[in-house]
């Protein structure tokens, strides 16, 4: 009975707050002469702050048109905005910037949803050793990470040198499918020097870029390494969950002036690999069994950063400076 009453109270509070909010919106429109979408676009700077408020407003609207606008096809965004302007009785000739601002926001919102679908498709596709494209990507990964060391054979213990668990890497891609391989290859190819350095440090942590004084100050005399490729797949899992949960919206809405793409996701993976590597050495774990503890602490740190609406995880990839204040 107590449980039922608690649920009843929660339901009543929900509908009461919803009613109160709609009343407040009505009053604000009468006072300002602007709808909620106008107030957000005119009073909030471009980027995550504006786009997330627009997304919430559209999703929570009682209008079916506004609710479905966050999931339209990218080609239908322009027509959707025209319909929204007509529904809200907003003259586009008098308010030209509103349409431009809404278009920028919808491109990001719809793009984020499509990015999740693209990433999910790669994650669900298993590595197939009979697929020439998959095999070529794997061999390229070796070539980018070990340019001066030829791979003796496809099935080889050499794979352990870049952090795989056995003599055939295909078994390590089961959890993240092709997504893990795509990310590792992107890191090794697009940021080759950094990837090779991180690989070297993971094998010989005491030979990293930390100076001797820093090692002594941080008491890193017992620092241990980790399996580069396996950790890369694990960080792929972290990036994937941040994406699906919506935590990465802050980051992508700040760095992508339009729709975030797979390249944005892979750049984020590169950043996470860099940061996790530094974090691992700073944490100075006693052994590899502490990996889950360090990873969880790192995850919480990233999530905390992403709670800042102005946050861009990798500013060297940021396009937020190119955003027009619309």
Residue 209: inside a domain? yes
Residue 60's Cβ-side half-sphere holds a number of Cα atoms within 13 Å equal to 15
Picking from 62, 93, 123, the residue at the C-terminal end of a domain is 123
Q: Are residues 116 and 149 in the same domain?
A: no
Q: Are residues 205 and 270 in the same domain?
A: yes
Same-domain pairing of 292 and 143: yes
The tens-digit pLDDT sequence of the chain (326 residues) is 656 666 666 655 555 445 444 554 444 444 454 678 889 988 999 999 999 999 999 999 889 999 999 999 999 999 999 999 899 888 888 888 888 999 999 999 999 999 999 999 999 999 999 999 999 999 999 999 999 999 999 999 999 999 999 999 999 998 899 999 999 999 999 999 999 999 998 886 544 455 545 544 444 444 578 999 999 999 999 999 999 999 999 999 999 988 999 999 999 999 999 999 999 988 888 888 899 999 999 999 999 999 999 998 875 543 334 433 33
In a domain, 324, yes or no: no
Q: Could you tell me which of 145, 139, 161 has the C-alpha nearest to residue 273? A: 145
Instruction: With respect to residue 315, please indicate whether it lies within any of the assigned structural domains.
Output: no
Q: Which two tokens stand for residue 94?
A: 């008098």
Residues 196 and 242 in one domain: yes
Backbone phi, then psi, for 168, in 5-degree steps? -135, 105
Q: Is 321 part of a structural domain of the chain? A: no
Q: Which of 42, 114, 143 is CA-nearest to residue 264?
A: 114
Extract the tokens encoding 314.
């990798």
Query: Is there a domain that residue 43 lies in?
Result: yes
What domain count does the chain have? 3
Q: Which 3-state string (H, E, C) describes the chain?
A: CHHHHHHHHHHHHHHHHHHHHHHHHHHHHHHHCCCHHHHHHHHCCCCHHHHHHHHHHHHCCCCHHHHHHHHCCHHHHHHHHHHHHHHCCCCCCCCHHHHHHHHHHHHHHHHHHHHHHHHHHHHHCCCCCCCHHHHHHHHHHHHHHCCCCCCCCCCCHHHHHHCCCCCCHHHHHCCCHHHHHHHHHHHHHHCHHHHHHHHHHHHCHHHCCCCHHHHHHCCCCCCCCCCHHHHHHHHHHHHHHHHHHCCCHHHHHHHCCCCCCHHHHHHHHHHHHHHHHHHHHHHCCCCHHHHHHHHHHHHHHHHHHHCCCCCCCCHHHCCHHHCCCC
Domain boundary among 67, 91, 123: 123
Residue 323 belongs to a domain: no
Query: Is residue 90 located within the same domain as residue 153?
Result: no
* Same domain as 101, residue 16: no
**Does residue 212 share a domain with residue 286?**
yes
> Is residue 117 domain-shared with residue 140, that is, in the same domain?
no
Instruction: Tell me if 78 is assigned to some domain.
Output: yes
What's the confidence (pLDDT) of residue 12?
57
Cβ count within 10 A of residue 32: 13
My answer on whether 132 and 119 are in the same domain is: no
Q: Could you tell me if 167 and 283 lie in one domain?
A: yes
pLDDT for the residue 241: 98
- Measured between alpha carbons, how far is 98 from 41 in angstroms, rounded to an integer? 7
Q: In angstroms, rounded to a whole number, what is the distance separating the alpha carbons of residues 75 and 71? A: 11
Kindly state whether residues 171 and 269 are assigned to the same domain: yes
Count Cβ atoms below 10 Å from residue 12 Cβ, excluding itself.
10
Domain boundaries, position 73: 34-123
Backbone torsion region of residue 199, taken as left when φ is above 0, otherwise alpha when ψ lies between -120 and 50, otherwise beta: alpha
- Assess whether 57 and 178 both reside in one domain: no
State which of 89, 106, 123 marks the end of a domain.
123
């Amino acid at each position: 009975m107590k449980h039922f009453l608690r649920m009843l109270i929660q339901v009543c509070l929900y509908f009461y707050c919803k009613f109160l909010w709609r009343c407040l919106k009505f009053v604000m429109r009468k006072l300002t002469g602007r709808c909620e979408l106008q107030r957000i676009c005119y009073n909030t700077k471009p980027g995550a702050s504006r786009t997330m408020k627009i997304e919430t407003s559209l999703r929570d609207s009682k209008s079916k048109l506004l609710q479905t606008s966050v999931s339209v096809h990218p080609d239908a965004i322009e027509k959707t905005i025209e319909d929204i302007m007509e529904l809200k009785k907003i003259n586009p000739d008098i308010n030209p910037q509103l349409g431009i601002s809404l278009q920028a926001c919808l491109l990001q919102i719809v793009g984020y949803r499509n990015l999740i679908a693209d990433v999910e498709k790669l994650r669900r596709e298993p590595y197939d050793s009979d697929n020439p494209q998959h095999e070529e990507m794997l061999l390229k990964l070796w070539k980018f990470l070990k340019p001066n060391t030829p791979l003796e054979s496809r099935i080889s213990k050499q794979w352990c040198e870049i952090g795989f668990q056995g003599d055939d890497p295909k078994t390590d891609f089961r959890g993240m499918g092709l997504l893990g391989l795509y990310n590792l290859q992107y890191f090794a190819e697009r940021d080759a020097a950094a990837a090779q350095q991180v690989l070297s440090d993971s094998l010989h942590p005491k030979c990293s870029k930390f100076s001797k004084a820093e090692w002594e100050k941080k008491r890193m005399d017992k620092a241990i390494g980790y399996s580069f490729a396996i950790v890369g797949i694990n960080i792929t899992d972290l990036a994937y969950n941040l994406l699906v949960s919506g935590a990465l919206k802050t980051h992508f809405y700040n760095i992508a002036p339009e729709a975030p793409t797979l390249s944005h996701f892979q750049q984020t993976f590169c950043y996470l690999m860099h940061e996790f590597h530094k974090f691992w050495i700073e944490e100075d774990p006693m052994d590899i069994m502490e990996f889950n503890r360090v990873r969880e602490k790192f995850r919480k740190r990233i999530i905390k950063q992403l709670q800042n609406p102005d946050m861009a995880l990798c500013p060297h990839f940021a396009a937020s400076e190119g955003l027009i204040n619309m």
